[in-house]
Amino acid sequence: MAVSSPRDKYFGVWLIFFMLGLGTLLPWNFFMTATMYFTSRLKDSSLVDYSANQTEAEGEHRSILEAKFNNVMTLCAMLPLLLCTCLNSFLHSLIPQRLRVMGSLLIIMFVFMATAVLVKVPLEPLPFFCVTMVKIIIINSFGAILQGSLFGMAGLLPASYTTPIMSGQGLAGTFAAFAMICAIASGSELHDAAFGYFITACVVILLSVLSYILLPKLEFFQFYQQRNQRAEEENSVNLMNSESKAEAADPNTQQDVSMIKIFKKIWLLALSVCFTFTVTIGTFPAITADTRSTLADRGSWASSSFHLVSDEIRFKTLLFTSEGYFIPVSCFLLFNLCDWAGRSLTAACMWPGKDSLVLPVSIVCRLGFLPLFMLCNVQPRLHLPVFFHHDGWFIFFMILFAFSNGYLASLCMCFGPKNVLPHEAETAGAIMAFFLSLGLALGAALSFLFRALV
């Protein structure tokens, strides 16, 4: 006789997973928001790149470290993210869940505390550059382990409990976009703004740690944890009874076969979430952030020159001058708000179903956003004409683009662990997290090609 699950009182487990989802991305988004602070500390007259004309203003010259910061940061973020997500998919069963989650949170918090302290400590550009890149590698390595572990944990619960993780991550991007807009509006000193970002990140991580400590004490979570443990024990007994002694004596073979069997059950959903983020990151922000307003005067959005950083692609930065708040509001803030709305909607609606072909077809259709954004007023451009001149077209495309990304990606992440047996759910969640990260990496790589086609 099946035992009915207890209620999630006061949505405690749901809120904790939301907080943990927020904690996975908000710190890194604040780190990226402070990119202008990092590059400002890399200025050094002895390392100036004089490739520009000597008659240009001194402000046009950038040190070699400053000029290479974005490219090196992308590399130091992308590779550890993908590698550690892959390792977590295979090794999560060998390292206790509590160690993976709590250890990752504490290490990331320590890095941000050290970063906040270094704001007040003078360093030469080269040592500062090296220390910053080491911190980026650490944050993305343990952030990947944390994210994969969270999706694995959510896989043990009902399908709707992947939604708060996705929703929390979406809200993280919105927070970062608001922080950037507020920084532009206030005219705060770079060092003061950066210090505030890092302290805020430490507070968010601390709240995530406290939430995770509370999680095992909740009856709803205990029920599904215990059910998963019973399923694993029953599966072990069945394996011992059905397999030969030789096969039972080779645990590596069992694990490999298990991974392959689980992937065969979720391959379509895994590739779907990968393709979703490949299209999204291939377009945003490489193309969308270079779009210029055709309606606003230079002062109507409040002109300003600033550094703006993508929130969803935790490892790519852009330096550009635009019509003030047009791109921060119409591109970054609008994307994150609509993406968050799409992710959150899956808590109430999960259509189409996990076995429906409408889901993968809808995801493939999102490829159409690529030429639509290319034909907006993206500047500079070399090959394609501008077809959608009005700013309204860009805003309309952005709303559909962001909402569909959040909704469809969240559906895939919710359905993946539910296509396998209960004792395989955690591994399935980790595999889905790997393909999510793979989509981010592929999108980042293809973004250079897509932008060159405009």
Q: Which of 152-166, 247-261, 306-320 has the lowest average pLDDT?
A: 306-320
Helix or strand run (H / E) with residue 433: helix 425-453
pLDDT for 304 equals 39
What is the overall mean pLDDT for the chain? Answer: 80
Given a cut of 90, is residue 249 above it in pLDDT?
A: no
- CA-to-CA distance for 398 and 86, rounded, in angstroms? 31
Q: Mean of the pLDDT values across residues 158-176?
A: 86
Q: Which of 26-30, 131-135, 197-201, 389-393 has the lowest average pLDDT?
A: 26-30
pLDDT for 236 equals 60
CATH for 10-44+63-226+251-453?
1.20.1250.20
- In sequence order, what are the residues at sequence separation of 6 or more whose Cβ sits closer than 8 angstroms to the Cβ of residue 259? 89, 90, 427, 431
Q: Mean of the pLDDT values across residues 260-265?
A: 90
pLDDT band with cut points at 50, 70 and 90 for residue 187: low
Q: Mean of the pLDDT values across residues 129-135?
A: 92
- CA-to-CA distance for 267 and 272, rounded, in angstroms? 8
CA atoms within 13 A on the CB side of 158: 13
What digits encode the pLDDT tens for the residues 325-370?
A: 777 788 888 998 999 999 989 888 888 888 889 999 999 999 999 9
Q: Which amino acid is at 198?
A: F
Q: Mean of the pLDDT values across residues 247-271?
A: 72
Q: Which of 11-25, 215-229, 231-245, 406-420 has the lowest average pLDDT?
A: 231-245
Given a cut of 50, is residue 307 above it in pLDDT?
A: no
* Paired strand residues for 305: 321
First to last CA, the chain: 62
pLDDT for 315 equals 33
Q: What is the CA radius of gyration of the chain?
A: 23
Helix or strand run (H / E) with residue 185: helix 163-186
pLDDT for 268 equals 94
Given a cut of 60, is residue 449 above it in pLDDT?
A: yes
- CA-to-CA distance for 38 and 199, rounded, in angstroms? 16
pLDDT for 406 equals 93
- CA-to-CA distance for 303 and 299, rounded, in angstroms? 5
What digits encode the pLDDT tens for the residues 52-90?
A: 344 344 444 567 887 677 667 767 877 888 888 888 877
pLDDT for 3 equals 64
Going by the DSSP 8-state scheme, the letter that residue 416 receives in this structure is: G
pLDDT for 270 equals 94
H-only helix segments in 187-283: 190-214, 219-242, 245-248, 251-283
Residue 241 burial by Cβ neighbours in a 10 Å radius (0-12, 13-18, 19+): exposed
Hey, CA dihedral for 435, 440, 445, 451, is it positive or negative?
positive
pLDDT band with cut points at 50, 70 and 90 for residue 239: low
pLDDT for 279 equals 94
Bigger pLDDT: 232 vs 286: 286
Residue identified by tokens 């907080």 is 19
Given a cut of 60, is residue 199 above it in pLDDT?
A: yes
| Four-CA torsion 180, 183, 187, 190, nearest 10 degrees | -90
pLDDT for 49 equals 46
**pTM of the predicted model, to two decimals?**
0.73
- CA-to-CA distance for 194 and 63, rounded, in angstroms? 21
DSSP letters along 51-70, please? TS-TTS-GGG--BHHHHHHH
pLDDT for 39 equals 78
Given a cut of 60, is residue 198 above it in pLDDT?
A: yes
Q: Mean of the pLDDT values across residues 375-382?
A: 90
Domain boundaries, the chain: 10-44+63-226+251-453
Residue 72 burial by Cβ neighbours in a 10 Å radius (0-12, 13-18, 19+): middle
Given a cut of 60, is residue 297 above it in pLDDT?
A: no
pLDDT band with cut points at 50, 70 and 90 for residue 20: very high
Residue 281's SS3 state is: helix
CA atoms within 13 A on the CB side of 148: 30
Of 136-150, 239-253, 321-335, 391-405, the range with the highest mean pLDDT is 391-405
Bigger pLDDT: 372 vs 173: 372
- CA-to-CA distance for 424 and 427, rounded, in angstroms? 6
Bigger pLDDT: 53 vs 408: 408
Going by the DSSP 8-state scheme, the letter that residue 289 receives in this structure is: G
